Amino acid sequence: MFIPVTFAGWGIALPERRLTNADLEAQVDTTDEWIVSRSGIRERRVAGPDESTATLGIDAGMAAIKHAGLTPDDIDLLVLATATPEMVVPSTSSIVHDGIGLRCGAFDVNAACSGFAYGYVTAAALMNTGMYRSVLLIGAEALTRIIDPQDRATVVLFGDGAAACVLQRHDDTSPSAPGVLAWDLGCDGSAWSILNVPAGGTRLPASAETVANRGHYLKMEGQEVYKRAVRAVVGTVEKTLAQAGVTAADVDVFVPHQANIRIIEAAIKRFGFPTNKTVINLDRFGNTSSASIPLAMFEAADQGRIKPGDLVLIAGFGAGMTWASALIRWGAKA
């Protein structure tokens, strides 16, 4: 189902602090060569003492609204994707809503690294009802706050950041009109345990014991995540391309979730995407979960790598285990 929505504006927010592989060599038993060969990551951003998921989300959201030439009063709905909420209650979107000065509804989406794609499809579907014209969609994360600094398997992978966009509904339904052409959302809940933060929720409330056991840090079964991630990306992309009635050769720009260079390379090889048509920035930012896809996509747009009329394919996978993809005909303004 084609939904006529376009990207009216976007914005990015990144902490200033960079954590390089050299920094990590002094922190855990690892090397730059080991990190780069297995992940492709060379550095990542780390939120400072006065930064958080909400502050990054606010900055990115305000930048997107400004880029769109709008004001907060023009926004009809806020959708915020994050796996690192500001607090258990209330929603992070409420805090971002207040920080930006919005006057609309707001809610969070937690599909981990698939969060932005889930949020994009959800926002587009709601806009297709005719109830909303301008929706602010944000992917924001402060992942380093839940990463065990002593765990070399995870501390090398994740970073902090946010990216946002203003989506606008329009009335052009011609074959060349910008919008979302097809999508796929999926989940295999039986794999929830391979990537999770075990403590801090209602299953294991915070206690002296959970803190002592380091239960508030992210736990990951790396090999299992890798195997499932490759299958998930390939499967969701195949479904979305089939629904749109196009082939991989028709895709102008591929924007994968920036988790691991090996996973990205496996997808490129499977579908034959040229490297110059694949957006990769994980070497500078690492895995920023819900912020990963929009950070890559909007950087590419700012660099002129994405042009009006291009078919842009986004695809992600994450804890849960979730996956999502969408095929977008790019259009910067409605």
Give CA 9 to chain center in angstroms: 17
Would residue 49 be called left, alpha or beta, if left means φ above 0 and alpha means ψ between -120 and 50 degrees? alpha
Residue 113: active-site member: yes
| Whether 60 contacts 140, CB under 8 Å | yes
**What pairs with residue 318 in β-bridges?**
322
Task: Give 178-233 as a DSSP string.
Answer: -EEEEEEEEE-GGGGGGEE--SSSSSS---HHHHHTTTTS-EE-HHHHHHHHHHHH
Cβ neighbourhood burial of 41 (10 Å; 0-12, 13-18, 19+):
buried
Which is catalytic among the residues 21, 113, 165, 260?
113
Cα dihedral across residues 53, 54, 56, 61: positive or negative: positive
287 carries an active-site annotation: yes
Q: Which of 158, 184, 162 is nearest to 260 (CA)?
A: 158
Q: Which of 21, 110, 165, 257 is catalytic?
A: 257
Catalytic residue status for 97: no
- Left, alpha or beta for 112 (phi > 0: left; psi -120 to 50: alpha)? left
Strand 77-81 relative to strand 105-109: parallel, antiparallel, unpaired?
Answer: parallel
Which residue numbers are catalytic?
113, 257, 287
